[in-house]
Amino acid sequence: MRLYAAAVYVFLYGPISLIVLFSFNAGRHAASFECCSTMWYGRTFQNTFLLEALATSLIVASTTAVLATIMGTMASIALQRVRGGLRLLFDALTYTAIVIPGIVIGIATLVALVTAFGFLNPVLDALWPAGTAPSLQLGYGSVIAAHTLFTMALVIVIVRARIQGMDRALIEASADLYATPWRTFRQITLPQIFPAVMSGFLLSFTFSFDDFIIAFFVAGSKTTLPIYVFSSIRRGITPETNVIATMILAVSLTLLFVAQFLLRARTGKSGRPA
């Protein structure tokens, strides 16, 4: 069993390790390794198209993480008061958003947005007071909306799991002391669920930053970093592609480790895991 487990890990992480190793290639061809140089890292950061794609991905991922965390946390708290068949319906919708393949979300979002834009743009033109009305089209807004739809479901699942294990006696004591609902949330509820909220934020950022399939359908003229990598591979693989993959890997692993650490964090003096 140990040998089998080791073989599985080698099969999974061996190609990833090769990408990291080949990012330090001193040659000009990605398939042949010449040890060792960091020159491709310098060339990568001098690539203006890459930097623009990186900035787009950071904007999309940051905005998506903020929106998904706020709305997902609010939904998690609200769902605690829902019971019966309505609760089962919301649970099914939440898990469906996670289970549905990204290509389905991308196509569905694209069709919905194109249909909505086709209806709203003539209305805006008719109601616009003077000149030409701004045209609604695919771009930052469409990518952020699609990513928020998907990642908000992750936040709901994570935060709800923390809320279910929360010490309700503190909330009841706060109500007995005539604290307002907002003050109870700010001083009692939020500190207890904060590790889960931060974990949801980091996971939302990671999934949005790494996503290619959904962004490919709804990005319009915008180019995210995964889309740029895909386009670069179609033109031919260079060590620069390995550098980009290594940087994405480093960012993703860092955020995932931080999220895992926060999920395991212990709150207060109760000794209960988050």
pLDDT the model gives residue 66: 93
Structure-token pair, residue 79: 């769902």
Instruction: Please report whether residue 1 resides in a domain.
Output: no
Total-model pTM:
0.77
Inside any domain, residue 43: no
Partners of residue 273 on adjacent β-strands? 266
Per-residue pLDDT tens for 115-151? 988 888 888 887 777 767 777 888 888 899 889 988 8
> What CATH number does residue 133 fall under?
1.10.3720.10
User: Which ranges in the chain belong to alpha helices (H)?
Assistant: 2-22, 39-45, 48-79, 85-99, 102-127, 140-164, 168-176, 181-184, 190-210, 213-218, 225-235, 239-263
Give the chain's domain count.
1
Query: For residue range 35-76, what is the model confidence (pLDDT) as tens digits?
Result: 777 777 888 788 888 888 888 988 999 999 999 999 998 888
Q: Answer yes or no: is 14 within a domain.
A: no
Closest by Cα among 120, 140, 135, 125 to 208: 140
Residue of 265, 82, 101, 100 whose CA lies nearest to 191? 265
Most confident of 196-205, 234-243, 249-258, 261-270: 196-205
**Does some domain include residue 134?**
yes
* pLDDT at res. 54: 85
Which residue range is the domain that position 113 belongs to? 49-263
> Is 273 a domain residue?
no
Let me know if residue 221 belongs to a domain. yes
**199 band by pLDDT with thresholds 50, 70 and 90:** confident
Task: From 88, 200, 191, 204, select the one nearest 146 (Cα to Cα).
Answer: 204
Which pair of structure tokens corresponds to residue 250?
């480093």
